Amino acid sequence: MTDSSFVLRIADADLAPEPLTPEQIVSGTPEVTGRVVWESADGRRIRGIWQITPGVVTDTEADEMFVVISGSATVEVEGGPTLRVGPGDMAVLREGDRTTWTVHETLRKAYCITLPE
């Protein structure tokens, strides 16, 4: 992370393992990696890169906006819409959304998360 303005090539960024809990995995052997590239001093605003390999997982979302860089997935929001995302798509998830991600091709996204006070 840095305190100054910067540029980072998302497609080439090195990512670190972010293991899923066994309860999150519905099918397949998906693996998650990621990297926080910026965080506000109070820890409420986070910018980063996240990647997941094919499989099906569940999650409870934060208040997040993301842009897909590569890959594709279908994100089913419990009680809400089904989002089909691929390269160039921007999506917004609400805090508390319970989702099921079906990842068709390894998906890499850049994200902005805002955590509650």
pLDDT of residue 1: 65
Asked whether residue 71 is assigned to any structural domain, the reply reads yes
pLDDT of residue 56: 98
Number of domains in the chain: 1
Asked whether residue 97 is assigned to any structural domain, the reply reads yes
Summarize pLDDT for 26-78 with one digit per residue, the tens.
Answer: 999 999 999 999 999 999 999 999 999 999 999 999 999 999 999 999 999 99
Q: Is the pTM of this model over 0.75?
A: yes
Asked whether residue 75 is assigned to any structural domain, the reply reads yes
Q: Is the pLDDT of residue 2 over 80?
A: no
Mean pLDDT of the region 13-17: 97
Summarize pLDDT for 95-116 with one digit per residue, the tens.
Answer: 999 999 999 999 999 999 999 9
Full domain range(s) for residue 23 = 14-114
User: CA dihedral defined by 15, 19, 24, 30, rounded to 10 degrees?
Assistant: 60
> For the chain, what's the residue count?
117
pLDDT of residue 27: 98
DSSP state of 3: S
Distance CA 28, CA 16 (A): 20
Q: DSSP E strands: which ranges in the chain?
A: 16-17, 25-27, 32-39, 45-52, 55-60, 63-77, 82-85, 90-93, 98-114
Measured from the Cβ of residue 45, the count of other Cβ atoms closer than 10 Å reads: 13
CATH of the domain at 62: 2.60.120.10
Q: Is the pLDDT of residue 3 over 80?
A: no
